[in-house]
A = this chain, B = another copy of it.
Amino acid sequence: MDELDSAIVRLLQTDARQSNRELARQLGIAPSTCLERVRALTRRGVIRGYHADIDPVALNRGVQAMVSVQVRPLSREVINTFKTSAAEMPEVLSVFVLAGGDDFLLHVAVRDLDHLHAFLLDRLSKRKEIVGFRTSVVFQQVQKAAPSRLP
C-alpha cells in the first residue's frame, strides 16, 4: 500500500469505470503496470468491488430516515436475529450494531412518509425483541464521494 496504490484507489473511488489506459495515463505509469497493480489490490482484498451510484428517487426512495432501536434481552442470539431480519427488509439500506445507549441504527430509505410510517408500524413494530425505537427523518445527506486514506 504505497503512494501509487493509494492514488489508484483514489481514482477508482472517483470513477470506477474509466479504462485501464486512462487510469495509467493519469498516474503517469504504463498500462501493464497499472493493470497489475489493480489486480494485486483486488487479490489482497483492498478493492472489494465496483458499484454504480444510483439516484434514490429513481429507486422510489426519496425519503430517508435513521431509526435507532433498542432490543431485549441483549443476547448474542437476539442481536444476530434482529440484525439479519433488519438487513433483509427492502427498506433498510444498512444496519449498524452499536455500543452505547442504542443497540442498532437502521438507515432506511422509502418512497414517502406514508411508506415510512407503514414500515415502522407494520414491519418494525411487529418484532417482539424491540423494546423501543426512535425515528429521525433525514432532511439532507452529504456523502463523501471518496474517503481518503488517513495518515
* Chain A residues in the interface with B (C-beta under 8 A): 1, 9, 12-17, 45-55, 58-61, 64, 66, 83, 86-87, 90-102, 105, 109-111, 115, 134-151
Q: A13 CA to B60 CA in the complex, in Å?
A: 16
A140 touches B49 (CB 8 A): no
| Complex CA–CA separation, A146 to B93 (angstroms) | 9
Query: In the complex, what residues of B have CB within 8 A of residue A90's CB?
Result: 147-148, 150
Q: How many copies does the complex hold?
A: 2
Given contacts A1-B58, A105-B66, contact A141 B96 (CB under 8 A): yes
- Chain B residues within 8 Å of A97, by CB: 138-141
Q: A48-B54, A87-B144 are in contact. Are A100 and B136 (CB under 8 A)?
A: yes
